């Protein structure tokens, strides 16, 4: 980096602006990843412009509001006081020294990578970009995306990474609801198109992140994020399959996991559940399996774990049907209350939540479905699901009017004693309740 701090080339000028904290940072995508990062860069004294296509989000932020539960309006106001602003105007990309892309990378209807958000973002910014800018992609994707998708588009604008601009990949590692690891605390993996790109990326991020983890290339950084989440997907798939086996044998899998976890070496406990949720773990493995086919590799192990995890909501619905049948009831016409809409406890993030799929499956079989979640007061807009619902209050009268409660997400805010006292049947997918209670059925 020291060699970049002297001279008058575009990259040297960029290095000087980054080093002196005069650089203007643009965050593209102000969701669960982009907004915390934007606030962090503002906190350390850099000018930040946030970009989003959702006008409502932009207006809310500029009015010092927040649409993410864990981000207080006061945090947004502090950032505004420090110069942060949000906009839908991509022409303002011309003002930036660094463009950080934090947009979704979902799967399409055929469970193949959908890079449309990345492509739309870079294409919208590109007409306003210029030499001497740094582009960082944080969206999880297949190895090669940065070099094969972004670099050619930038070349059309006369931008050559390592020559007159910089290009890096640095995967997001947010863990919503984790009180121990905020944006600044999570080590930042980063790979550059060239060594100078890497040095510029490190210089920028180290203002906001405590620990940097440089790797040899953008492809290595892209693969790192996939490995992290595939590791979790495979292990969760294993423990979910073990749960099904243990259930057939009448064994409490949570008791077994707790006992196995006492081994001080060679075992890492993973908890089973109703399926995978969040933007990363249900999706990321399929990015690698798709790309691996280009190299003639069949990722059977990864795909099997994905199949098991994808099956879990269906297995839960089967357990609900069995439990009702044992009480002389059919699922059709029953009133079912799903407890917890978020994909994990104590947060408001419902992306890819198995609770939503369980609701859809139950409704398709004729059940009357409702939900209760203190973190999600109104059912959010989703591309594949729509329920015109709000969170049900958990009063004794309201609990007792449902034929079955399904504990999909074990928020700490739930009054479990109240649920046990007034529910006629509870399907527990998280191992939170005492399965010896006559009203509790494990799933």
Would you please indicate which residues are annotated as catalytic (active-site) residues?
280
Helix (H) or strand (E) holding 201: helix 195-205
Distance between CA atoms of 179 and 182, rounded to whole angstroms?
7
Sheet strands (E) in 211-280: 212-214
Q: C-alpha angle with apex 408: 54 to 341, nearest 5 degrees?
A: 20
**Burial level of 287, CB count in 10 A (0-12/13-18/19+)?**
buried
Other C-beta atoms closer than 10 Å to the C-beta of 421 total 12
**Burial level of 91, CB count in 10 A (0-12/13-18/19+)?**
exposed
Q: Is 387:333 a contact under the CB 8 Å cutoff?
A: no
Distance between CA atoms of 324 and 116, rounded to whole angstroms?
43
Q: What is the largest CA-CA distance in the chain?
A: 81
**Bridge partners, residue 137, by sequence:** 101, 169
Distance between CA atoms of 123 and 115, rounded to whole angstroms?
12
Of 96, 196, 217, nearest in space to 147 by CA = 217
Helix (H) or strand (E) holding 153: helix 151-156
- Measure CA 242 to chain center: 25
- Measure CA 256 to chain center: 29
Distance between CA atoms of 151 and 144, rounded to whole angstroms?
10
- The answer to whether the Cα torsion of 217, 219, 221, 224 is positive or negative is negative
**Burial level of 402, CB count in 10 A (0-12/13-18/19+)?**
buried
Structural tokens at position 264: 């001080």
């Amino acid at each position: 980096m020291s060699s970049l701090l002297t001279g008058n080339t575009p990259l040297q000028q960029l290095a000087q602006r980054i080093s002196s904290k005069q650089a203007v940072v643009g965050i593209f995508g102000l969701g669960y990843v982009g907004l915390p990062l934007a606030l962090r860069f503002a906190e350390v004294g850099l000018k930040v412009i946030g970009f989003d296509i959702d006008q409502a989000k932009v207006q809310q932020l500029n009015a010092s509001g927040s649409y993410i539960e864990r981000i207080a309006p006061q945090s947004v106001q502090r950032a505004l006081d420090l110069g942060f602003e949000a906009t839908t105007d991509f022409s303002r990309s011309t003002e930036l020294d660094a463009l950080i892309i934090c947009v979704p990378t979902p799967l399409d209807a055929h469970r193949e990578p959908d890079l449309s958000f990345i492509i739309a973002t870079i294409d919208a910014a590109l007409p306003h970009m210029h030499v001497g800018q740094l582009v960082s992609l944080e969206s999880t994707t297949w190895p090669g995306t940065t070099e094969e998708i972004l670099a050619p588009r930038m070349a059309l604008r006369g931008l050559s990474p390592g020559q007159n601009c910089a290009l890096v990949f640095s995967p997001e590692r947010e863990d919503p609801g984790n009180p121990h690891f905020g944006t600044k605390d999570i080590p930042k993996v980063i790979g550059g198109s060239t060594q100078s790109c890497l040095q510029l990326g490190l210089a920028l991020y180290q203002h906001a992140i405590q620990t940097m983890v440089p790797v040899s290339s953008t492809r290595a950084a892209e693969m790192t994020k996939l490995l992290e989440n595939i590791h979790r997907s495979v292990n969760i798939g294993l423990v979910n399959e073990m749960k099904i086996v243990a259930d057939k044998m009448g064994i409490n899998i949570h008791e077994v996991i707790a006992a196995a976890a006492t081994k001080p070496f060679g075992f890492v406990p993973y908890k089973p559940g109703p399926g995978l949720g969040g933007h990363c773990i249900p999706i990321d493995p399929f990015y690698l399996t798709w790309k691996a086919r280009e190299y003639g590799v069949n990722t059977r192990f990864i795909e099997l774990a994905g199949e098991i995890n994808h099956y879990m909501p269906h297995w839960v619905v089967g357990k609900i049907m069995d439990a009702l049948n044992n009480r002389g009831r059919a699922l059709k016409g029953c009133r079912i209350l799903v407890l917890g809409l978020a994909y994990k406890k104590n947060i408001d993030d419902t992306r890819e939540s198995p609770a939503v799929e369980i609701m859809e499956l139950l409704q398709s079989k004729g059940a009357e479905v409702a939900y209760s979640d203190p973190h999600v007061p109104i059912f959010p807009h989703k591309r594949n699901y729509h329920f015109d619902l709000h969170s049900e209050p958990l009063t004794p009268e309201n609990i007792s009017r449902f034929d079955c409660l399904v504990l999909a997400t074990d928020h700490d805010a739930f009054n479990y004693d109240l649920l046990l006292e007034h529910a006629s049947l509870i399907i527990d997918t998280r191992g939170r309740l005492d399965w010896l209670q006559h009203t509790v059925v494990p799933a």
